[in-house]
Structures are given as structure tokens and as C-alpha cells.
Amino acid sequence: MAEQPQQLVFIPFPSVGHLVSMVELAKLLVHRHTTLVVSIPVITSLSTAAAVTRYTDSLAAPDSDLNPRVKLLHLANDDDDPSAPAGSVLALIQSQKPRVTEAVSAELTRSGGRLAGFVHDMFCTSMLDVAEGFGVPSYIYFTSGAAFLGFILRAQELHDQEGVDLTESKELAELAIPTLKHHLPRKVIPSSFLNKEWASVVHTMARDFRKTKGILVNTVKELESYAVDSLSSGKNNTPKVYPLGPILNLKAEENSDGSILQWLDQQPEYSVVFLCFGSMGAFNAEQVKEIACALEGSGHRFLWSLRRPVQGAWASPTEYENVSEVLPEGFLDRIREVGRVTGWAPQAAVLAHRSVGGFVSHCGWNSTLESLWFGVPMATWPMYAEQQFNAFLLVEELRVATEVRMDYRTESGEIVSAEEIERGIRSLMEEDCSRKTRMKEFSDQAKGALMDGGSSSCSITEFFRDVMSAGDV
């Protein structure tokens, strides 16, 4: 007798990065559970629609290997509606609740089967009551690390129960966080927690997290064992935590320009420092010159992904038409033998390359996991979001990174000097073999985690069992 299909609904945040990550998680689940269908209503905002559509089109292409049991649900389109809230992405998500309900109901009618639960992106907790409307439990997909999850929960608890307002208490130089061994310096607390308007948003998020059945965390238990143990101790009124990463999308760039990789092929093993600052990372001309001087001064081989900043909040960088215009005079000629300046770079393929010996990174969690996966030691240069926290985690807690800076914030407009950058690069490439050894260990653990019997594999099994039985009681 054919088993009745079981359904889960994943609610992604309207950005390609978050959507990709959810689709990868869905692929993992349906691959292991042959009666499972995962439906993903695709929410887009005006600024992300084009990129999201490019990605979903690629999934629908005839050569796509997407399992047909991962279903992208397209929502009724209102791009032409001038009242659509373009300003606030959280308001946009909120406004999509009726459409999501409609799309999920239609899908259930179409494919039959039992809906077992919802998994919401960490920024989509306003959808919790949609799941409630269907009478099924909610889980969160947390796309950063376990230590940071602990920080969000602790910050909300401090605020709600102990009257500590981080936006006010400037005299608090550091905080004790249950998921960190060391005290967290105020200078690496993400800006959203220090700003009144955003602090209320992140505290609401944390309160919503506590209402759910569980939190799937894109991390590896062995990597963040201290944080995972603390969250699992049952002490802090935290929902069950499932460390099931690293969820990465390493295949995305196979078709990229091969000239960078050819150049890397010609470099000695571990000799190249790779600089790349994420999909939003770009610096002004003054900062670009400091980085260029630092690279020349360090004498190390390098590959530098250099992109042109665009004015406006959340505008993605573009490519330079003529990169010489921002670089010091004659720079490209002088470094021709040892370095490459490129625009967008195929990050995963570069990190996988044996000639890459260090990674100067903005410490986005995705990039952090990729670097760990490939065992490449890092130098931290955070820019926005929770990246300062991640930098602290990498430098002080896990000791796999050195710092250019841990506390840099894009909005400060500060210029990091060539001397400081050069010191960071030298330290990354010349000192402390133990960082490399630890990175290698984490890399092996990360790769083992998703194999049969590995810690993340077991978490996925456990989550599946829990969510499927949750509705039965």
C-alpha cells in the first residue's frame, strides 16, 4: 500500500541567499524521506524579484536536478500594485500571509497528504500564525550559528526580564552570554541590537522563537559544541535545537569563468591570500587604496574580489568598468606576477583550491561555513549584520581566525589603514600553525557531520521524527 505523502511548508526570506539555503535543506530532507513533499512559497520584494526569479527559473530548467517533491509555490503577483510595501521587508512578509495561506491550501488540495508542520526562515516569524491557522507546529530555520542564536535569546531575556536595555547601557563594556566561553565585548555586538528601532524587532524575533517547537540551526555540533550544549541544557527556556549544517550550495558556480582557477593552478600550495567581502561588500576609493598598499607591502600572492559600491541602503555592488581607476597608479603592472584583481569571484571554487592559504572575509555565516568546510584559515573584516559577532566567535572562541578587525562596521565610514591590514594578512599567512590544524579538524568534522551516522545527519532524522509525530498527540 502506497504511503500517504507527508507535507512540510518552508517559508523563505525574500532574498536569494536565504531561499537557496532553504531549498538545499529541503533537498536533503526529501532525499532521505521518500514520502515527504516540501512546499516553498516564494516571496519576493521589488529589490530581490529579478535575482530570485533567475534562481527559480534555473530550478525549473529541464537540466535541473531538483527533486519534484520540492515544490516552489508562486504567489499571486502584485508587482504592479503601487501600494505594495517596498520599504520594509518585514512588512512585506507580513502582507503576504493571506497569499501564503491560499497557496498552501491549494497545494494541499492538489497533492493530498497530511501537512505536518512549517519551517520559517528566522526573519519570517510573522508567519507563525499561518501555521497555527493550519493547526500544525512551527519550527525556525536559523541561518547563522548556535552561539549567535544564544546571544539573540539572551539579549531579549536581559531586556524583558532584567530591564537591561543594550541601546542605553553604554557603560556595559561586555556581556556574559551562555553560548560563549568568553565575555562578549560591546564593540562586537551587532548594530541592530544597539539601535532602538531594530532592537525591538530582534527582541520580537526572539520571543517568537520561544513559541516554536524547535530551531534548526545551520551549524555543526562539533564546531559549536559549547553553544549547542548550552542551548540543549534545558536551562534557558529554549525550544529544542537541531544543529544540522553545514547547509551549503557548493555546486552553484560550476559554470563560472575559468581564468581565475587557471591562475590559481599555477600558484604554489597555500601561497595565495583570498580577499572577498560577500554579496554586499564594497569599499570606497580611499579604503581600496589602503587594501592595495597592504597587499603590495605584505609580499604575499593574492586574489582580490573588488567590487564597486552603489549608493543606497541594501544596493548590491556592481563591477568596475576599469578597475585601474580606483587602484594606486601602476598597481596592476607591479603585482602582475603575484596577484589578481577580479570582480565577482566563484568563492567556493576558490576556497576549495589547494593554492589558497588564507581568506580575508566579511564573516557572513555562509562564507564562514564555506571556509570551515574547506579548512581555510580566516582573517576577519566584518561589515554589517551579525558579522562582528561571527568574527569574535572565530577569533576568540574557536581560534581559527586572526583579525584585520573584529569590530569594523560599514556604517562607521572608518578607514582601516594599510598597516593594520598588512599586519592581519601577515599574521594570517605567516603565523600560528595551530589555527590551520584546528581549521583542518573542523573541516573533517563538518564533512563527517552530514554523512550517515554523523551529528547533523542524526539531527535531521530527529527533526523529521519529531515533526511527524508532533501532530499525532
Q: Any idea which residues carry the catalytic annotation?
A: 18, 121
* Count of residues engaged in binding ligand NAG, rule: CB under 6 A: 15
- Among the residue ranges 181-189, 195-203, 264-272, 322-330, the one whose residues contact ligand NAG (CB under 6 A): 322-330
Round to the nearest angstrom and report the end-to-end CA distance of the chain: 24
d(CA 383, CA 14): 21
DSSP state of 308: B
Q: Specify the residue for cell string 512559497.
A: 41
Which 229-288 positions form the footprint of ligand NAG (CB under 6 A)? 249, 252
- Among the residue ranges 10-18, 85-93, 289-297, 458-466, the one whose residues contact ligand NAG (CB under 6 A): 10-18
- Three-state DSSP class for residue 71: strand
- Judged by CB, which is closer to ligand NAG: 236, or 256? 256
Min dist. Cβ of residue 264 to ligand NAG (A): 16
Closest residue to ligand NAG using C-beta atoms: 17
* Pairing between β-strand 6-11 and β-strand 36-42 as defined by DSSP bridges: parallel
Min dist. Cβ of residue 98 to ligand NAG (A): 27
Min dist. Cβ of residue 143 to ligand NAG (A): 6
* Pairing between β-strand 356-361 and β-strand 214-217 as defined by DSSP bridges: unpaired
Min dist. Cβ of residue 254 to ligand NAG (A): 11
- Judged by CB, which is closer to ligand NAG: 290, or 370? 370
- Judged by CB, which is closer to ligand NAG: 51, or 164? 51
Q: Are 429 and 298 in contact (CB under 8 A)?
A: yes
- Among the residue ranges 11-19, 42-50, 188-196, 417-425, the one whose residues contact ligand NAG (CB under 6 A): 11-19
248 closest CA partner among 6, 28, 473 = 28
Burial environment of residue 268 by CB neighbours within 10 A (0 to 12, 13 to 18, 19 or more): exposed
Based on the shown chain and the rule CB under 6 A, indicate whether residue 28 belongs to the binding site for ligand NAG: no
Based on the shown chain and the rule CB under 6 A, indicate whether residue 26 belongs to the binding site for ligand NAG: no
Based on the shown chain and the rule CB under 6 A, indicate whether residue 347 belongs to the binding site for ligand NAG: yes
In the list 237, 255, 266, 322, the residue contacting ligand NAG (rule: CB under 6 A) is 322
Based on the shown chain and the rule CB under 6 A, indicate whether residue 455 belongs to the binding site for ligand NAG: no
Amino acid letter for position 389: F
- Three-state DSSP class for residue 409: coil
Q: Are 14 and 89 in contact (CB under 8 A)?
A: yes
Min dist. Cβ of residue 181 to ligand NAG (A): 27
12 closest CA partner among 66, 57, 52 = 52
- Three-state DSSP class for residue 36: strand
Write the DSSP string, 267-285. SPTT-EEEEE--TT----H
Min dist. Cβ of residue 343 to ligand NAG (A): 14
Based on the shown chain and the rule CB under 6 A, indicate whether residue 333 belongs to the binding site for ligand NAG: no
Min dist. Cβ of residue 348 to ligand NAG (A): 5
- Among the residue ranges 16-24, 30-38, 232-240, 448-456, the one whose residues contact ligand NAG (CB under 6 A): 16-24
Residues 6+ apart with CB under 8 A from 207: 156, 160
- Three-state DSSP class for residue 454: coil
d(CA 330, CA 328): 6
- Judged by CB, which is closer to ligand NAG: 21, or 126? 21
Which 366-395 positions form the footprint of ligand NAG (CB under 6 A)? 366, 370
Based on the shown chain and the rule CB under 6 A, indicate whether residue 348 belongs to the binding site for ligand NAG: yes
- Judged by CB, which is closer to ligand NAG: 134, or 384? 384
d(CA 404, CA 455): 33
Cis peptide bond N-terminal to 246, omega within 30 = yes
Q: Are 160 and 240 in contact (CB under 8 A)?
A: no
- Judged by CB, which is closer to ligand NAG: 157, or 370? 370
- Judged by CB, which is closer to ligand NAG: 64, or 105? 64
d(CA 347, CA 400): 19
Min dist. Cβ of residue 212 to ligand NAG (A): 21
Which 110-149 positions form the footprint of ligand NAG (CB under 6 A)? 143
In the list 79, 81, 325, 333, the residue contacting ligand NAG (rule: CB under 6 A) is 325
Residue 457, Cβ neighbours under 10 Å: how many?
Answer: 17
Min dist. Cβ of residue 365 to ligand NAG (A): 8
Q: In terms of residues, how long is the chain? A: 473
Beta bridge partners of 359: 274, 378
In the list 6, 21, 156, 443, the residue contacting ligand NAG (rule: CB under 6 A) is 21
Based on the shown chain and the rule CB under 6 A, indicate whether residue 190 belongs to the binding site for ligand NAG: no
Amino acid letter for position 147: A
Residues engaged in binding ligand NAG (CB under 6 A):
16-18, 20-21, 143, 249, 252, 322, 324-325, 347-348, 366, 370
